[in-house]
Amino acid sequence: MNFAEIYHQAISQWEALQQKTRILVGAATCGRAAGALDVVRAFESELAKRGSDALVIPVGCMGLCYAEPLVVIMKPGEFSVCYGKVTTEAVRRLVDGYVLGDDPCLEIALGTFEIGEEGAPFIPELPRFERELRLIMRRCGHINPEDINHYIATGGYKGLVKALGMSSDDIIAEVNVSGLRGRGGAGFPTGRKWELCYQALGRPKYVICNADEGDPGAFADRALLESDPHSVVEGMIIAAHAISASLGYIYVRSEYPLAVKHCKIALEQAEALGLLGKDILGSGLSFRIEIAQGAGAFVCGESSALMYAIEGRRGMPRVRPPHSIESGLWQKPTLLNNVKTLASVPLIIDRGAQWYATIGTAGSKGTALFALAGKVAYTGLVEVPMGTTLRQLVDDVGGGVSGGKQFKAVQIGGPSGGCLPESLLDTPVDFDSLREAGSMMGSGGMIVLDEDNCMVDAAHYFLDFIQKESCGKCTMCRLGTKHLLEILSDITSGKGNIEDLDLLFELSEGIREGSLCGLGKTATNPVLTTLRYFRSEYEAHILERRCPALVCKELIAYLILPEKCDKGCEHCMLVCPAEAIYRDEKRIKVIDQTKCTKCGSCEEVCPPEYNAVVKVSPPSSAKR
Amino acid sequence: MKRLASKELIDKLRTILAHHGRERVELIPILQEVQQEFGYLPREAMLEIANFLEVPSSSVYGTATFYNEFRLTPIGRHPVRVCLGTACHMRGGKRVLEAFEREVGIRVGEITGDGEVSLDRVACVGCCVMAPVVVIGEDIHPRMTPFKVEEVLVELKQKDGSQQSPSPEGVSGSLST
Ligand SMILES: Cc1cc2nc3c(=O)[nH]c(=O)nc-3n(C[C@H](O)[C@H](O)[C@H](O)COP(=O)(O)O)c2cc1C
Ligand code: SF4
Ligand code: SF4
């Protein structure tokens, strides 16, 4: 089949689909965790009972993860309605109401996609969509990721067809002009990397998609692979054509089973249509892609380590040069790009580099895809033009800090990034501005922290992670981070000295200088940014043995306020695993501080109308 | 002294090895499949793999111990993995882990004497918006609290009692179809 025929087939299937009532259910990992598969089954059985021919289509992540499970009902000639937090009980109501009847059930809807109906918000007009620009996410949640025809019918593989008619030089020039920079963290110009790999002499050449996403707190690559795997595959084939590679790998972490599954299906389907494999679309290009599953090591996201991991060795970074573009996998020229970088490529080729270059800032083109989590109201996936400010992301897209709490910091870039305070919220997100502020774009994790988060604990958390994940090759990284962690442990447990703060700076400098790879070089960013922007919290821990955010276990105590405790209730006593709570003469509950393990259960179960259990710091203030 | 592996183990291992080449690049995929089958990497299997690939067994061990995914001790019938990614940590994942340790009576990395429950930590399963999460087998339990731990454990027991009963609505979802 030539592409025109493939396209025709996809389009006719797609158009036939539009004639039917469709129920889209967001069934990426996040949706599943919220119960999306139960919702799918409930719809199916309800529809079967009524003999309805409406279709239930599992789709990927729509980005509005806070409202999952998400359902969109689309009917020919009617407006489409989106429902959030759909329970299996709500399914029957939706089937009766909108699938079979005329009642769009707007009172339980998140909003409508077409014209604003009375009583329900018009989704494209929600504040977040004024900020969002969905380019690489444009199909996520709209198509069935397990059906290649959905991808093709929505313009997929058009970029590849165009690229196959172009020379390597033309493709590389196009990527160069677009200004695309790698989304794996460091922001290296993609076109430049392709060019160097194209010029490398060795044969064969390899293309690798880095889908390791080992940063805790990042999940955009996962969501993209689960929701629109072909966009990454297409980007890889275009790259292979540009540099003349014959074999590619998707290196994906095994903690992402659904992403692995969807990639496998995508590869099989692309191969079946002749878009992958031998003599792609009769162009003479032959390219295969295999999946390599990571085995859980953060350092394997680093390019040279990743290549060793594919070879079946320990994933330990090595000294450069030689660079991977000349001597990578099996010492052959290897092009390695991030998931989001590769997913941007088909769009650039299809719509043109000039168009792409109009989006973003002078130094950072295109969009930034973030996994927004933590203490905001609307957690999920967001895609905004580079240059959008942190404040716009947190307030407009994220809906601000949840639960009426006070904003404290936003953590960007995972363990390589940093924590930025309120005063830096007007920083635009782009590679250079973030680096200037001491953080990094990283892999796209963004976690909002509020007054209940302790910044010393946050720094401790990242260092603990890094110290466990250090491959151990460099002494400064292996032992330096360990020492740093010990100092932070002392501080969080009230055993710190004020001189420690200087030592933290000194050690950080040494670790940065004495480390081979990015893991060690950036490991101290969380420490340095928290020290720079939240020094007073460190000082409170050291000088007053107090944790202002009431987080650090050794520095807090639980206390039951006698005036608030309802005498009749014994929830806390029943739940306390240490039997630390007793009744005083007035049957008010009292915590025996010598027995308390600070598990927090009593606080959790104290009915909200009493709210009698509180945390205090320092622990000495619990004496009464 | 050489310990003889059970016949069953060797049979299963042979089936796995049968569809792999004898190159080093196969090592990690083989280890992954073996772990999938047995829940951990039995010693006998690792020696056999070293034979099969003609690499030193120290190299097989060296690789296996480098990666977090591999474990050298069995997992429980209910493998509990507590996520301690950033979002989970910031929302109290550690207290959830401690609650499991307390309620099950084992430390992280251990397994109960009857082989029922094993407890591990993972560094982010990418479900940050549901933080803190716990993965048990293939089920993801979103928005966990120390208090809910008891509930979840009771639920596991009930599941054992009546094999066909599905998990209660809204409490968990499944990773697999
Ligand atoms: C410790 C460490 C972990 C990394 N993890 C990832 C990762 O998970 N995903 C990724 O794309 N890049 C990761 N990188 C960056 C890669 O080494 C590499 O720069 C990137 O994948 C190149 O792709 P790009 O040019 O498209 O950004 C990591 C780097 C280091 C030092
Ligand atoms: S914090 Fe835990 S151990 Fe301490 S009193 Fe409350 S329930 Fe008991
Ligand atoms: S749960 Fe709250 S109200 Fe009830 S006894 Fe404990 S402290 Fe008092």
| A262 near B CB under 8 A | no
CA angle A353, A358, A364 (to 5 degrees): 90
The bound ligand whose nearest atom lies closest to the alpha carbon of A301 is 1
Collapsing DSSP states into helix, strand and coil, what is residue A24?
A: strand
Closest in B69, B140, B145 to A295, CB measured: B69
Using CB atoms and an 8 Å cut-off, which of residues 465-504 of chain A contact chain B?
Answer: 465, 469, 471
Q: Whose CA is nearest to atom 25 of ligand 1?
A: A182
Each of the 177 residues of chain B gets a pLDDT tens digit; together they read 344 568 889 999 999 999 999 999 999 999 999 999 998 999 999 999 999 999 999 999 999 999 988 989 888 999 999 999 888 998 899 999 999 999 999 999 899 999 999 999 888 887 888 889 999 988 889 999 988 998 999 998 888 776 544 444 333 444 333
Distance from CA of B5 to the nearest CA of A (A): 25
Q: Is the pLDDT of residue A255 over 90?
A: no
B162: Cβ contacts below 8 Å, ≥ 6 apart: none
Nearest Cα of chain B lies from the Cα of A351 at a distance, in angstroms, of 31
Q: State how far the alpha carbon of A541 is from the alpha carbons of A418, A490, A492, A586, in Å.
A: 20, 10, 7, 36
Tokens of A428: 């635009």
Q: Whose CA is nearest to atom 6 of ligand 3?
A: A572
ipTM: 0.86
- The answer to whether A384 and A429 are in contact (CB under 8 A) is yes
- Atom 6 in ligand 2: residue holding the nearest Cα: A602
Confidence of residue A217 (pLDDT cuts 50, 70, 90): confident
A interface test, pick of B90, B122, B141, B176 with most A CB neighbours within 10 Å? B90
For ligand 2, atom 4: residue with the closest CA: A596
Query: How far B4 CA lies from chain A's nearest CA (Å)?
Result: 27
Cα within 13 Å of Cα(A454), Cβ side: 26
Provide mean pLDDT across the span A590-594: 95
Contact B86, A413 (CB under 8 A): no
3-state SS, A274-328, equals CCCECCHHHCCCCEEEEEEEECCCHHHHCHHHHHHHHCCCCCCCCCCCCCCCCCC
User: Is residue A339 scored above 70 in pLDDT?
Assistant: yes
Dihedral sign (CA A400, A401, A406, A408): negative
- Looking at residue A118, its pLDDT comes to 62
Contact in structure between A585 and A540 (CB atoms under 8 Å): no
Among A44, A219, A293, A519, most B C-beta atoms within 10 A, so best to mutate, is A219
- Pick the closest to residue A386 from A435, A343, A431 (CA basis): A431
Which ligand has an atom closest to residue A610 CA?
A: 3
Among chain B residues, the shortest Cα distance to A221 is held by B126
DSSP B116: S
Q: Which residues contact A620 (CB under 8 A, 6 or more apart)?
A: none
What is the strand order of the sheet B139-141 is part of?
B117-122, B78-83, B134-136, B139-141, B173-174
Chain A: closest CA distance from residue B9 (Å): 23
Q: How far apart are CA A92 and CA A245, in angstroms?
A: 52
The model's pLDDT over A166-213, given as tens digits with 9 standing for 90+, comes to 999 999 999 999 999 999 988 999 999 999 999 999 999 999 999 999
- pTM higher than 0.95: no
Question: Over chain A, what is the mean pLDDT?
Answer: 94
Map residue A119 onto helix, strand or coil.
Answer: coil
Q: A402 to chain B: which residues are within 8 Å by CB?
A: none
CA of A210 to the centre of ligand 3 (A): 51
- Contact between chains at B146 and A600 (C-beta distance less than 8 A): yes
Residue A589 CB-half CA count within 13 A: 28
Say how far apart CA A558 and CA A314 lie, in whole Å. Answer: 46
Copy the structure tokens of residue A14: 């797609």
CA atoms within 13 A on the CB side of A193: 24
The Cβ-side half-sphere exposure at B3, using a 13 Å CA radius, reads 9
Question: DSSP labels for A456-509?
Answer: HHHHHHHHHHHHHH--S-SHIIIIIHHHHHHHHHHHHTT---THHHHHHHHHHH
